Amino acid sequence: MRRLPLAWVLMHIVMVMAFASDAQAEDSPQARAIVRAGTIEAGLAAGYVQGNEAFTSISSNRSALYVLPRIGMVLTPEVGRGFFAGNLELLFEPLYAHYFKPFGASAAGGSFVFKYNFLSFGRWMPYWDLGLGMLWTNLAPRIPEQSTQVNFVTESGPGLHYFVTERVALTIGVRFHHISNADIGDRNLGLNSTLAYAGISVFWPRFIERIP
């Protein structure tokens, strides 16, 4: 349980540092002008998963390296005011993972990720996402949590983009990551983890307007 709050605290510290910077400098890229309805995002991130004993997991001895490509589109114009001004994005995020604890194993699958982008902070763009998907893993049935190799994924957490140019943004984030077979097997105690990741994304603004 200790690792999950620590990861979230570190993520919030990074966000506070971002907000205190010169995010609104007129000569810097502005997320509000780049990430608009129709904008396409394509990216790649690497992540580290550490199991925790939150809710129903049996053991925290679950560790893996994740590869997370992503492709998606901003669906809505800007809504809200002040801190909450932003828009909604939908991404498809495949995943591949190599587990090295409690033993060598693999996982592969993908999620649809809903992402709310906060647009009031200049070249810094905080966001919160929620992902729903499926994966196959040969961790099961060798672990006590799960009895089926096909499972469902639910994940959510904060993230942050930093626009180094008007197209390219560096990315960091952290999620609570839950794997479950939805009771289609005889064991479904849940595999719960903290997923921390970092990567890069490229944005192509106003894609819809370019379609003839």
Q: How confident is the model at residue 207 (pLDDT cuts 50, 70, 90)?
A: low
Interatomic CA distance for residues 193 and 95, integer angstroms = 15
Tell me what pLDDT residue 1 has: 43
pLDDT digits (tens, 9 = 90+) for 2-39: 444 555 555 555 555 455 444 455 578 999 999 999 99
pLDDT of residue 23: 47
Specify whether the CB–CB gap between 153 and 109 falls below 8 A. yes
**Tens digit of pLDDT for each residue in 95-126?**
999 999 999 999 999 999 999 999 999 999 99
Task: Write down the pTM of the prediction.
Answer: 0.85
Backbone angles phi, psi at 101, to 5 degrees: -135, 135
Query: What is the enclosing helix (H) or strand (E) of 86?
Result: strand 86-101
| Residue 56 pLDDT grade (very low, low, confident, very high; cuts 50, 70, 90) | low
pLDDT tens digits, 64-102: 999 999 999 999 999 999 999 999 999 999 999 999 999
Mean pLDDT in residue range 191-200 = 96
Percent of the chain surpassing pLDDT 90: 70
* Four-residue CA torsion sign, 75, 77, 80, 81: positive
Place of tokens 């006590």: 144
Cβ within 8 Å of residue 66, ≥6 positions away: 46, 47, 48, 49, 95, 96, 97, 195, 197
135 φ, ψ (degrees, to nearest 5): -155, 160
Run of H or E residues at 210: helix 207-210
